Chain A
Amino acid sequence: MGVVHGQEMVLNIGPQHPATHGVLRLQVKTDGEIISEITPYMGYLHRCFEKHCENVTYEQVIPFTDRCDYLASMTMNFGYVVAMEQLMEIKVNDRVEYIRVIMAELQRIASHLLGIGAFGLDLGAFTPFLHMLRDRERILDIFEMTCGARLLYNYMWVGGLSHDLPTGFVEATLNFLDYFEPKVDEFENLLGHNKIFVERTADIGTMPAEVAINYGVTGPNLRGSGVKWDLRKDDPYSIYDRFDFNVPVGKGIKGTVGDCWDRFYVRIEEIRESVKIVRQAIDQLPKDGDVHQSMPKKIRPPKGSIYRRTESPRGDLGYYIESDGSDTPYRLKMRSPAFTALSVLNEIGAGWLMSDVLGILGSLDIVLGEIDR
C-alpha cells in the first residue's frame, strides 16, 4: 500500500497563542501531525527600543533596558551599566559590586523559575507552574523591599545604585535561601523525573554543539548542548571571579546530549549555582561604602564605541554603544540572546510532531520583548 502523502496545510501558531510566550507567529507547514517546516514571524512587539536610545540621555535609557527582557530586568540593567562603566572607565566600590551580583543572581533564579514553569505549562503540567510562581513571588518581595518595584526596577545606575540595601535585607534573603534550597530538589523531582515529562522531552529537539555555535545560540541552550561556555567565567566582568561556582553542562542523563531535558536540567542546576553565589556574596558583603559614591554628575562618555557582553539568564546579552561625546547615545544596539535562540527553531524543530515542536519552543525559553526590542 503506497504511502499516499496528503497535501501540506499552512497553519499559524499565531501572535496570540498560550505557548508562544508572548506575541510570536510560527507559520507551520504540516500534514496534520508531522511538522515539516517552521518559519517564525516576529516584530509584533517591536517597540523601537534603539530609536528611543538615540533620543534620550544615558540615564533615561536604563528604564528602557528594563522593558526589553521583562523577566530578567536586573541583568539587563547590569549589562548596560557594565558596558557604560567600561566605556567611561568608572570603578565602583566593592559594596556596589556585591549588591549588583546578589541582585543579578536572585533575578536569574526568578527568571529560570518562570522559564521552567512555562516550559512545564507548554507540556500540560499546570501545578509546577503554580509552585514556581509562588516561590518567585518571594523573590519579588525581596526586590520590592529594595527598589520598590516588582518587575521593572531601574535599580542599577551608571556608577552605582539607585538605593542602598534596606535594613533587614540580609535576613530576608537568608530566610528565603534557607526556605528555597530544599524546594529546588522538590521541583526537580516533581517535574524533571516525572515519567510523562521525561517521555515528552528526552531525545526530542536535540541540538548538536556545532549547530548551536553556528546559529549563535548562547546561554543555557548552548550549555545544554554540552558546550561549557559561561560569560561569568570565560569573559569575566564585575567580581564574578571571587565566587566559587561551577557551570552546569548537559550530559544527556535522560537522553542524548542537547535535548529538551538537558536544557531543563541545566536551568535547574543553574538555580542551585545561583543560590550558592548569593550565599557567598552575602557572606562577603562589605558593610561600609556609599552606593552613590562614583556616580558621575553628568554622564558624557568620551567619543568612541564599545561592545560588552554579560551573562543574562537567556545567554550572551551584548550592548554595542557608540557615543559621540554628547549626553545622548549616538547608537545603541542590544544583541539579544533569545533572538538567536529562536533562529535555531526551524533547524532543530522541523520533522517533529506538533506537540513536540511546542515543547522545543518552551525549552528554548525565549522572551519576545527582547527579540523584537
Chain B
Amino acid sequence: MGLLENKFTDNIIVEKLDKLLSWSRSTSPWFFQFGTACCAIEMMAAAASRHDLMRIGIIPRSSPRQADVMIVAGTVTMKMALRVKKLYEQMADPKYVVAMGSCATSGGPYWQHGYHVLKGVDIVIPVDVYVPGCPPRPEALIEGLLKLQEQILEERPLTRKTG
C-alpha cells in the first residue's frame, strides 16, 4: 500500500482530502479492451461514433498497464479464465472491473451445458459493477460505467478502515 494509505483517523481534513482523491480517480477511467464475444461488438459500438464513450472521457486502451477499468465483455471460458486472472493482476492499481453481459455475470445462456464456460467472472476476479443483458445495449454499458464512477466517488482511500 502507499505510504499514507489508510493511515489516518477520520477527521475534517482527511475527509476533504479523500473527496479530492476519489474525485480525481473517478473522472475519466480508461477502460481496458477485454472483449471476448458478442458483447465486444456492443462495446465497440459504444466506443464508436453514435454512442460516443469518449465524450465522458472513457478511452479504450489495449494494454492493462494503462487502463483503470477492465470491462469483461463476453463469455469467459475455462481456458480464458487463467488469462483473465493474470491480466487483472497486471493492471495498475487502483483498478476496477465491470462485468458486461450475462455471460460475464453468471455464464449467461451457456450456464446449463457449458462444460467449458466459466459460470461468472467473479469466481476468478473481484467485480465492481454488473451490467445485465445479452448483449447489453451500448446505453446500458454507459450507464454501468457511470454507476462505477459514482461508486468510486464514495471510496475513502486515506482513512483507516475501522474494524
Contacts and interface: CB of A to CB of B under 8 A. Distances in A.
User: Touch between A and B in complex, CB under 8 Å?
Assistant: yes
Interface of A: 14-18, 22-23, 43-48, 51-52, 55, 63-64, 67, 70-71, 114, 129-131, 133-134, 136-137, 140, 150-152, 368-369
B37 A17 contact: no
Given A14-B83, A134-B50, 12 more contacts: A22-B40, A47-B110, A47-B116, A48-B115, A52-B113, A67-B37, A67-B109, A70-B37, A133-B49, A137-B45, A152-B134, A369-B38
A51 B48 contact: no
Contacts of B87: 16
Interface string B8-52: 000000000000000000000000011111101110110011100
Contacts, number: 99
16 contacts: A15-B80, A15-B83, A16-B34, A17-B62, A18-B62, A22-B40, A44-B36, A45-B77, A47-B75, A48-B115, A52-B114, A70-B38, A130-B48, A133-B45, A133-B48, A152-B135
B121 to A, nearest CB: 14
Contacts of B75: 45, 47
B112 interface: yes
Given A17-B62, A55-B112, A46 B45 contact: no
Range of interface residues on B (Cβ < 8 Å): 20 to 34
A17 B33 CA distance: 8
Nearest to B135: A151
Interface string B131-142: 000110100000
A43 B41 CA distance: 19
Given A18-B33, A48-B115, A152-B38, A63 B109 contact: yes
A134 B49 contact: yes
Contacts of A45: 36-37, 74-75, 77, 80
Nearest to A54: B113
Nearest to A17: B62
B35 A22 contact: yes
B110 A52 contact: yes
Given A16-B87, A151-B38, A151-B42, A46 B48 contact: no
A218 to B, nearest CB: 23
Interface string B44-74: 1100111000000000001000000000001
Given A51-B115, A52-B114, A152-B135, A67 B48 contact: no
B114 to A, nearest CB: 5
B20 to A, nearest CB: 33
Contacts of A23: 36, 80
